[in-house]
Amino acid sequence: MPPRVEEPLVHRSKIYTNACADREPEYSAYEQLQIAWGEQDNYEVVRKVGRGKYSEVFEGVNVASSSRCIIKILKPVKKKKILREVKILQNLQGGPNVITYGLELDPQQEALLGSHNRKPWSKFVTADNQHLASPEAIDFIDRLLRYDHQHRITSKDALNHPYFDPVRTPAA
């Protein structure tokens, strides 16, 4: 009998199996990323607070404004790895597991990273679409578009949402 050859173990995520594949190509295209680095002379390191694979993280101070900040100093690795790290940070910006401490970003960094605060759905209701914006519709959209999948409505709950009550077939 020939020796048994082990198949390589393949792990597929049960949630978001195609998370990156379903995105537009720009989502992961870090090799073309253009970074406008900000002015570094305005910052001073105070103490080390952490480290990562590609960087060390320090508490710092912006000497121009005397404000505290976090400084991430990149290790000398290949440019491609740094671009990938920056692209990942940009994609995670505003996500539920990104902790913010009420710090202000340097305006150049803010422009580079961008940020979008949560807006009330009522801001998107206009005279043209007001007839479509019932409280049930707004609640349904709000539950569908939650960033964190643990807070997002399940498909079963979505199908049972009151938004569909007007078209639901009565139970026999």
Binding residues: 72
The span from the CA of 34 to the CA of 21, in Å, is: 23
Instruction: Residue 48: name the closest of 40, 56, 39, 38 by CA.
Output: 56
Dist CA 92 CA 98 (whole Å): 7
Binding site residues for ATP, as ranges? 72
Residues 153/143, Cβ–Cβ less than 8 Å: yes
